Structure 1
Amino acid sequence: MIQSATLDFLKDLAQNNNREWFQDNKQRFEAAKENVIAFTSELIKELKNADPSLSSDIEPKKCVMRIYRDIRFSLDKTPYKNNFGISKLPSGVKSEEIGYYVHIQPGASFAGGGYWMPQAEHLKAIRQEIDYNADDLKKIIDEPGFKKLFGEFRNQEQLKSVPRGYDPTGDNIDLIKLKSFAAMHSFTDAELLKDDSPKRVAAVLANIYPLTVFLNNAIT
């Protein structure tokens, strides 16, 4: 589970995002990071039950993203993120971009997966797959349990114009115009603090597994 001290650290960091404060609280950071690594380890164990394609070589420590921000090209010069991100949880072997992500931030935590902003070649292939096999995708995203967890899949950002070669009046044009093919579910602080929170998060992500299978088939 995520410990209350981890969330407290992130709350305080958001209010004191500077190097001096961070150095004075380095031990708190290290403790919070170790907590997130332990959470990630349990999450991976649970998620493997639903997604057999997850590699047995995944190292929890390497899945926890750096807290240091890259400020070289940003107007925001605060040096640290006010969250912990858990990534590098790829589903399937076709693309490292297709998989799962967990975001831990007081009052703004979520878990999600799929494929966010595919590269041009993959985007073209996914659109073609939708054109040929839209019913397979709709069976996944229109399933009541999926919609309850993740909302309306079609409400993600779409192109303003229709991609070249597709009928603007086609039944599935709302899916073909999507820029991303991802699903996200929010978690409250109280949910993350529960003893079984890794299992709860993994159970949500397990519902995204069929989507990752569809996406991987598209880019084969």
Structure 2
Amino acid sequence: MDITCILDYLTHLEQNNSREWYHAHKEEYKTASAGFEALIRELIFRLGETDSSILHLEPKDLTFRLTRDTRFSHDKSPYNTAFRAHIGPMGKLPVPVGYYLMIKPGGRSFLGGGLFADMFKDATAMVRDYIAEHPDQWEAVITAPAFAESFTVLGTSLKNVPAGYDKTHPQAQYLKYKSWYLEYPISDALLCSGEKFTELAARVFTQMQPFNRFLNTALADFKMPERP
């Protein structure tokens, strides 16, 4: 797979973010998109050795469209200038949580995991409750050497521990969160290093698995809201 062509395409799209340019360069898009899907397929294969829940997935079902919804945005650029995918047990749905990949030129790419979406109040409550009830298990996950050497838990957070939770709880810091996720930054040079990048991505995603399993256990009864 040629990730250089992905970065080149996205760089040119960022410089020429218009419908006219996009439609005039459809062949370049198809080549870059095919390379991205090949990368996703390779990661599914490698991660499937330790996470069989994703082996049934097809790369084309995991990617997000470049087209932006600009109705409520001051930025009227019609396209996202990143290739993104979520490799989760239910595909690209945010729950169950899985492995997130964003390729964006200029050192803005990253590997991610966990719950990024903080708009689902039920999901937030389920994770908070599970952390509150299993503080030692949460502590073991986030302080394990293989985890701590690569990640810091990120997420949108309240100023105070929400009502109904013990303010002196040993995991009070994380009870403030509305989302719990990980980001591992990737340079352009590493992206273009071929097998070296694929091996690193597989290793980093594997290190996320205990974190993802904890969240997915907490979210076992979560149902995605139905669209009106």
The verdict on a shared fold, with TM-score over 0.5 as the criterion, is yes
* Residue 170 of structure 2 corresponds to residue 171 of structure 1: yes
> Which deviates further from its counterpart, 57-66 or 78-87?
57-66
| Structure 1 residues 18 and 10: alpha-carbon distance in aligned structure 2, compared to 1, 3 A threshold | same
Counterpart Cα distance in 2 of 1:169 and 1:69:
43
Residue number in structure 2 paired with 1:214:
214
What is the CA distance between 1:162 and its match in structure 2?
Answer: 1.8
Unpaired runs of 5+ in structure 2?
221-228
Name the SS for the 1:208 alignment partner: helix
Counterpart Cα distance in 1 of 2:161 and 2:155:
15
Name the SS for the 1:149 alignment partner: coil
Q: Does structure 2 conserve the Cα–Cα contact (< 8 Å) formed by 1:6 and 1:32?
A: yes
The AA in structure 2 aligned to 1:103 is M
Residue number in structure 2 paired with 1:63:
62
Give matches, 1:1-220, under 5 Å. 1-54=1-54, 56-90=55-89, 96-106=95-105, 107-118=107-118, 119-150=120-151, 152-153=152-153, 156-196=155-195, 197-220=197-220
What is the CA distance between 1:102 and its match in structure 2?
Answer: 0.2
Counterpart Cα distance in 2 of 1:208 and 1:60:
20
The AA in structure 2 aligned to 1:125 is M
* Superposition TM-score, scaled by structure 2 size: 0.87
Name the SS for the 2:88 alignment partner: strand
RMSD, aligned α-carbons? 2.1
Residue number in structure 1 paired with 2:224:
none
Unpaired runs of 5+ in structure 1?
none
Deviations 1:99-152 (A, max 9, x none): 1110001121001111123522222121111111111111111123312212x3
Question: RCO greater where, 1 or 2, for CA within 8 Å and sep 6 or more?
Answer: 1
* Superposition TM-score, scaled by structure 1 size: 0.90
Q: Does structure 2 conserve the Cα–Cα contact (< 8 Å) formed by 1:46 and 1:198?
A: no
Kindly tell me the number of residue pairs found equivalent between the two proteins.
216
> Which deviates further from its counterpart, 98-107 or 2-11?
2-11
Structure 1 segments, 4+ long, off by >4 Å, are none
Identity %: 35
The AA in structure 2 aligned to 1:28 is E
Q: Does structure 1 conserve the Cα–Cα contact (< 8 Å) formed by 2:81 and 2:104?
A: yes
